[in-house]
């Protein structure tokens, strides 16, 4: 028996994908905030990529100054609400909490952050008003957390901002790429609307910037351009059979799930290829979609997985089986996938070596490849003098080798968390303001 | 097993733990229930001419996630007819002849005092407590703390009571006074057999800052109440000590104020109390807390080799002295156990901003463990008090233990600082950073 039944309604889907960091109630927030030691030069602040003054906002919650708490959070991070839910707090702020050294449960910082910001959003407390228009215009490519954060920073200083979004919905990874048990679409969109009302940036949907012509138009019409396109589609493994039916990229299937929830059909026997956090998400989600048999296959050992320990624990917890030191050789099937052929591996001097003669076949009816993502060469190639290394655009303090272009988020760092993108966007915004001689 | 029974000024009780006169002793029902759970005695909710009370009546001080750390009330004495209370006293004594029932009383005239003393004696009360402490409502009518704050009137009323009393009389004192010794001595002069203290402290527990009214709210208004609960224990302990230290006082003391567990009870007894009275903790958790108090108190007696409560009474008094008699040669400094330190740096900032700049941080920012700058440490304890880890910061003795010199002795020896810039001042030579170092980061 699988842990979850296949969801057939939105309610059943939500039950299967129940929030792992649910909203605190007032009493819970009061009790939890009471535990904070208010450390000097607190390690949680240092561990937060956006350096939120965490002890301060926790104390503000404790004294029922929720508006003050939300302001403390938003002043450092425009995605204060989303980050409270989707940040890997276990390895960031909560991982740094000194209580860990005392074998006491660390403060639930993420949930407290979400508590304060949720209330500010619900009450529509406005912290920011854009400065008077200064005549400068910026274009932002991609409405992910980096792009939105950059837009907020620019709008605050009175720059006109247009965001070009290829898809029909905003916020990039936050809506399309996060496991549904970490945050709901509604929460993400509410925070976006909250920001948009305060800062007044435009998002132009269904408008991918791809061709030389697109790029030329932007350069003509805007004083600065921010690239926040994130990472691209799932990259190929280069093994036979990847084109068979029911072989999906992890990024694509997660996005599909975020959009169409219970209507997405999963198999009865799913193999997820990869050992990163996206692979863990894809495996967890398969199990929660009612798949009774999910195997996570990784070509190296368990210890070598890139995924956070707690992400693997989450997957294991919903019944995902780990298969380690198994490299895929071929995806088998006629039109539709029926099995994956693997070979056993071992690690020698840090390199994965196949063990000859150890091939074996594992049956399945669905394969999810979480094996890295491509870049956006189609765009990068059309921008003059852009220094690109693989999927990453090189920059100095967010400014690329083409001085009019700035960059942040996954296409700068190669792929990290929402919180890193939010930080990049904000600070790229500051760099643009300095480039435009504003303030 | 040690013997917990006590004879307090002639009132016998199976243990020294009594319910204080308050809402938990409003009725025979509650007191019988309490005795059944193990309480040794109960001081009945103050009897007199029945009052009319308001709604609401209680306010609370919560500290972080701790509720009712402090508590106040604006409830008056009993609002039930005397006859009902007397009948219930009789009934309680019938079922619990070995438990102590003490009638708390508060009336105005000499005739009323005579009458009510006789009434409660006839009902079978083992003792009487005179309520000269209530600091709200009743004092506006010349009773309660209004009596307790005027030693002459207190002495007079005690003497009225003693004219007729055949059972022991305890005088309950108010802490709303500068020198608790004065009413204690007046109680003795009037012929009282014992004192109990403290009654509640006049207080406002907090405000509703939205409505500009204090708590507790009575239709948009409030009044000062009587403060009690764990928060008042330090004040009560000090006053019990002050009374116990009156030379040749010799009256038994019933200790009251913030007692919630066995440790609190032990502390009161060690400072001179023969019984302890409890109210707020029962209002918070019910009569059942007596199980923990008895168990802990008994175990303490076993551990320390005490056979009777009497052996414990006042055992800490010789060590609590006036400041001038403390040893100025005693020198301790803080010591941080690096293995236990969790790196919160609360000790650092507490010492740096709040005390003597005697704790330093490592130059390597990755090392969050602070260190003691021993030559700056005055041995104040602050760091060890703020440290959240048990036994991580300890205070280590540094003097030889052979020298003893007090302020009093230095005064006699004419060796104390007397002028503003006297070089014998204690801080002379002690390291103090220059003021501008405070803003060095801004001056850079």
Candidates B65, B344, B349; nearest CB to A98: B344
B100 cis-preceded (ω within 30 degrees of 0): no
Q: Report the C-alpha gap between A337 and A241 in whole angstroms.
A: 8
A102 reaches B (C-beta below 8 A): yes
Looking at per-residue confidence, does B308 or B134 come out higher? Answer: B308
Picking from B318, B339, B369, the residue at the C-terminal end of a domain is: B318
The DSSP call for residue B13 is: E
* DSSP SS3 for A175: helix
- Indicate whether A1 pLDDT > 60: no
Q: Looking at the structure, do residues B252 and B341 belong to the same domain, yes or no? A: no
CB spacing of B346 vs A38 below 8 angstroms: yes
**Cβ contacts of residue A51 below 8 Å, gap of 6+?**
A45, A76
Chain B hits for A30, Cβ within 8 Å: 65
Q: Report the C-alpha gap between A266 and A6 in whole angstroms.
A: 9
How far, CA to CA in Å, does A268 sit from each of A2, A227, A291, B70, B281? 10, 40, 5, 61, 60
pLDDT grade, residue B443 (50/70/90)?
Answer: confident
Give the chain A residue nearest B64 (alpha carbons): A34
- Residue B369: its pLDDT value, please? 97
Q: Which of A237, A240, A238, A226 is nearest to A272 (CA)?
A: A237
Q: Report the C-alpha gap between B225 and B137 in whole angstroms.
A: 8
CB spacing of B342 vs A102 below 8 angstroms: yes
- Indicate whether B37 pLDDT > 70: yes
CB spacing of A35 vs B65 below 8 angstroms: yes
pLDDT grade, residue A172 (50/70/90)?
Answer: confident
User: How many A-B residue pairs are in contact by the CB < 8 A criterion?
Assistant: 33
Q: Which of B19, A266, B125 is nearest to B117 (CA)?
A: B125
Q: Looking at the structure, do residues B327 and B282 belong to the same domain, yes or no? A: no
Picking from B292, B318, B344, the residue at the C-terminal end of a domain is: B318
Q: Report the C-alpha gap between B162 and B114 in whole angstroms.
A: 9
Q: Is B139 a catalytic residue?
A: no
The DSSP call for residue B318 is: G
pLDDT 10s digits, A97-123: 999 999 999 999 999 999 999 999 999
In a domain, B244, yes or no: yes
Contact, B300 vs B262, CB < 8 A? yes
- The mean pLDDT of A177-199, rounded to a whole number, is 94
Q: Report the C-alpha gap between B219 and B217 in whole angstroms.
A: 6
Contact, A207 vs A166, CB < 8 A? yes
Domains for chain A: give ranges and CATH numbers.
Answer: 20-122 (1.10.1060.10), 137-232+375-435 (3.50.50.60), 247-369 (3.50.50.60)
pLDDT grade, residue A401 (50/70/90)?
Answer: very high
Q: Report the C-alpha gap between B302 and B2 in whole angstroms.
A: 7
Q: Looking at the structure, do residues B405 and B383 belong to the same domain, yes or no? A: yes
Q: Looking at the structure, do residues B354 and B264 belong to the same domain, yes or no? A: no
Extract the runs of DSSP E, i.e. beta strands, from B173-233: 194-197, 201-203, 207-208, 213-214, 225-228
A107 cis-preceded (ω within 30 degrees of 0): no
Per DSSP, helices labelled H in A202-276 are 212-221, 250-260
**Strand partners of residue A308:** none
Q: Report the C-alpha gap between A170 and A168 in whole angstroms.
A: 7
CATH of the domain at B299: 3.20.20.70
Q: Looking at the structure, do residues B274 and B330 belong to the same domain, yes or no? A: no
- Indicate whether A439 pLDDT > 90: no
* Three-point CA angle A339, A343, A347, nearest 5°: 140
In a domain, B417, yes or no: yes
**Cβ contacts of residue B396 below 8 Å, gap of 6+?**
B332, B333, B334, B335
- Residue A173: its pLDDT value, please? 82
- Residue A287: its pLDDT value, please? 96
Mutate one of B62, B63, B65 to test the A interface: name it (highest A CB count within 10 A). Answer: B65
Q: Looking at the structure, do residues B213 and B198 belong to the same domain, yes or no? A: yes
- Indicate whether A2 pLDDT > 70: no
- Residue A201: its pLDDT value, please? 97
Residue B274, H or E segment: none
Q: Looking at the structure, do residues B253 and B346 belong to the same domain, yes or no? A: no
Domain that holds residue B308: 6-318
Contact, A338 vs A364, CB < 8 A? yes
**Strand partners of residue A328:** A342
How many Å lie between the alpha carbon of B228 and the closest alpha carbon of chain A? 23
Q: Looking at the structure, do residues B149 and B68 belong to the same domain, yes or no? A: yes
Chain B hits for A38, Cβ within 8 Å: 346
Q: Report the C-alpha gap between A182 and A19 in whole angstroms.
A: 6
B198 cis-preceded (ω within 30 degrees of 0): yes
**Strand partners of residue B63:** B66
Give the chain B residue nearest A59 (alpha carbons): B64
Contact, A348 vs A357, CB < 8 A? no
Q: Looking at the structure, do residues B69 and B148 belong to the same domain, yes or no? A: yes
Picking from B288, B318, B348, the residue at the C-terminal end of a domain is: B318
Contact, A70 vs A79, CB < 8 A? no
Mean pLDDT score of chain B, rounded to an integer? 96
* DSSP SS3 for B3: strand
CB spacing of B368 vs A43 below 8 angstroms: yes
Q: Report the C-alpha gap between A160 and A140 in whole angstroms.
A: 11
Q: Report the C-alpha gap between B106 and B112 in whole angstroms.
A: 9
Least confident stretch, A221-230, A343-352, B328-337: A343-352
Write down the pTM of the prediction.
Answer: 0.91
- Residue B69: its pLDDT value, please? 97
CB spacing of A40 vs B389 below 8 angstroms: no
- Indicate whether B93 pLDDT > 70: yes
Extract the runs of DSSP E, i.e. beta strands, from A114-238: 137-141, 160-164, 202-204, 224-227
In a domain, B1, yes or no: no
Candidates B341, B348, B389; nearest CB to A40: B348
In a domain, B403, yes or no: yes
Q: Looking at the structure, do residues B34 and B171 belong to the same domain, yes or no? A: yes
First to last CA, chain B: 70
Q: Looking at the structure, do residues B279 and B170 belong to the same domain, yes or no? A: yes
Q: Report the C-alpha gap between B25 and B19 in whole angstroms.
A: 7
Give the chain A residue nearest B367 (alpha carbons): A43
Candidates B343, B346, B348; nearest CB to A101: B343
Domain total of chain B: 2
CATH of the domain at B376: 3.30.70.20
Candidates B341, B348, B388; nearest CB to A37: B388
How far, CA to CA in Å, does B413 sit from each of B401, B406, B407, B409? 21, 10, 10, 6
- Residue A116: its pLDDT value, please? 98
Contact, B124 vs B31, CB < 8 A? no
Query: Which one is catalytic: B134, B341, B377, B380?
Result: B134
Q: Looking at the structure, do residues B185 and B75 belong to the same domain, yes or no? A: yes
CB spacing of B368 vs A38 below 8 angstroms: no
In a domain, B362, yes or no: yes
Residues 57 through 116 of chain B touching chain A, CB cutoff 8 Å: 64-65
């Amino acid at each position: 028996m699988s842990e979850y039944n296949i969801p057939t309604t939105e309610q059943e889907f939500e039950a299967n994908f129940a929030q792992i960091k649910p909203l605190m109630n007032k009493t819970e927030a009061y009790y939890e905030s009471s535990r904070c030691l208010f450390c000097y030069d607190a390690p949680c602040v240092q561990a937060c990529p956006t350096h939120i003054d965490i002890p301060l906002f926790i104390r503000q919650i404790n004294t029922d100054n929720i508006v003050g708490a939300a302001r403390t959070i938003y002043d450092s991070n425009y995605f204060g609400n989303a980050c409270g839910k989707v940040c890997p707090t276990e390895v960031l702020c909560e991982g740094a909490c000194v209580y860990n050294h005392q074998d006491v449960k660390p403060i639930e910082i993420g949930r407290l952050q979400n508590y304060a910001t949720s209330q500010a959003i619900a009450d529509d407390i406005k912290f920011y008003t854009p400065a008077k228009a200064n005549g400068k215009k910026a274009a932002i490519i991609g409405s992910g957390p980096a792009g939105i954060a950059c837009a907020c920073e620019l709008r605050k200083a009175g720059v006109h901002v247009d965001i070009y979004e290829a898809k029909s919905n905003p916020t990039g990874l936050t809506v399309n790429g996060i496991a549904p048990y970490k945050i709901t679409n509604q929460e993400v969109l509410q925070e976006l609307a909250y920001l948009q009302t305060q800062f007044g940036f435009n998002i132009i949907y269904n408008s991918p910037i791809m061709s030389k012509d697109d790029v030329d138009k932007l350069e003509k019409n805007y004083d600065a351009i921010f690239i926040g396109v994130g990472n691209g589609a799932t990259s190929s493994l280069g093994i036979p059979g990847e084109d068979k039916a029911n072989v999906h990229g992890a990024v694509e299937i997660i996005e599909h799930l975020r959009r169409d929830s219970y209507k997405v059909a999963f198999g009865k026997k799913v193999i997820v290829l990869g050992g990163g956090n996206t692979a863990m998400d894809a495996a967890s989600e398969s199990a929660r979609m009612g798949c009774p048999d999910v195997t996570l296959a990784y070509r190296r050992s368990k210890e070598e997985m890139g995924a956070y320990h707690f992400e693997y624990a989450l997957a294991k917890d919903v019944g995902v089986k780990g298969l380690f030191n198994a490299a895929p050789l071929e995806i088998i099937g006629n039109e539709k996938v029926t099995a994956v052929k693997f070979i056993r591996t071992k690690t020698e001097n840090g390199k994965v070596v196949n063990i000859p003669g150890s091939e074996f076949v594992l049956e399945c009816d669905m394969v999810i490849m979480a094996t890295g993502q491509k870049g956006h060469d189609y765009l990068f190639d059309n921008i003059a003098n852009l220094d690109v290394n693989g999927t990453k655009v090189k920059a100095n303090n967010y400014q690329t080798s083409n001085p009019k272009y700035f960059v942040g988020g996954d296409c700068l760092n190669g792929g990290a968390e929402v919180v890193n993108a939010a930080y990049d966007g904000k600070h790229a915004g500051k760099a643009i303001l300095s480039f435009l001689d504003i303030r | 097993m040690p013997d917990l029974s006590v004879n307090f000024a002639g009132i016998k009780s199976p243990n020294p733990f009594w319910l204080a006169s308050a809402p938990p002793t409003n009725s025979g029902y509650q007191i019988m229930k309490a005795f059944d759970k193990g309480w040794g005695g109960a001081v009945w909710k103050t009897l007199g001419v029945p009052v009319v009370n308001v709604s609401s009546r209680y306010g609370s001080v919560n500290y972080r996630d701790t509720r009712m750390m402090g508590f106040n009330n604006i409830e008056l004495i009993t609002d039930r007819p005397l006859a009902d209370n007397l009948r219930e006293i009789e009934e309680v004594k019938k079922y619990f002849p070995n438990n102590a029932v003490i009638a708390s009383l508060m009336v105005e005239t000499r005739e009323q005092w005579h009458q009510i003393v006789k009434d409660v004696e006839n009902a079978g009360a083992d003792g009487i407590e005179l309520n000269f402490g209530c600091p709200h409502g009743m004092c506006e009518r010349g009773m309660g703390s209004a009596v307790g704050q005027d030693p002459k009137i207190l002495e007079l009323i005690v003497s009225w009571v003693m004219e007729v009393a055949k059972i022991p009389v305890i005088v309950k004192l108010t802490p709303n006074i500068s020198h608790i010794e004065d009413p204690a001595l007046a109680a003795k002069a009037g012929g009282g057999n014992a004192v109990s203290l403290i009654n509640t402290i006049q207080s406002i527990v907090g405000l509703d800052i939205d409505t500009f009214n204090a708590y507790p709210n009575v239709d948009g208004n409030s009044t000062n109440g009587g403060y009690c609960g764990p928060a008042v224990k330090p004040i009560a302990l000090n006053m019990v000590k002050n009374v116990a230290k009156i030379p040749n006082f010799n009256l038994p003391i019933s200790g009251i104020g913030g007692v919630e567990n066995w440790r609190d009870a032990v502390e009161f007894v060690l400072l001179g109390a023969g019984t302890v009275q409890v109210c707020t903790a029962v209002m918070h958790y019910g009569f059942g807390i007596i199980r923990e108090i008895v168990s802990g108190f008994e175990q303490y007696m076993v551990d320390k080799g005490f056979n009777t409560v009497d052996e414990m009474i006042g055992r800490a008094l010789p060590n609590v002295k006036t400041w001038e008699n403390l040893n100025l040669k005693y020198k301790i400094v803080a010591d941080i156990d690096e293995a236990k330190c969790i790196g919160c740096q609360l000790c650092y900032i507490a010492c740096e901003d709040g005390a003597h700049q005697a704790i330093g941080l490592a130059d390597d920012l990755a090392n969050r463990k602070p260190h003691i700058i021993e030559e700056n440490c005055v041995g104040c304890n602050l760091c060890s008090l703020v440290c959240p880890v048990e036994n991580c910061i300890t205070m280590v003795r540094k003097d030889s233990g052979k020298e003893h010199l007090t302020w009093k002795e230095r005064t006699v020896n004419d060796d104390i600082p007397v002028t503003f810039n006297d070089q014998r001042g204690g801080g002379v030579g002690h390291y103090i950073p220059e003021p501008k170092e405070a803003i060095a980061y801004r001056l850079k």
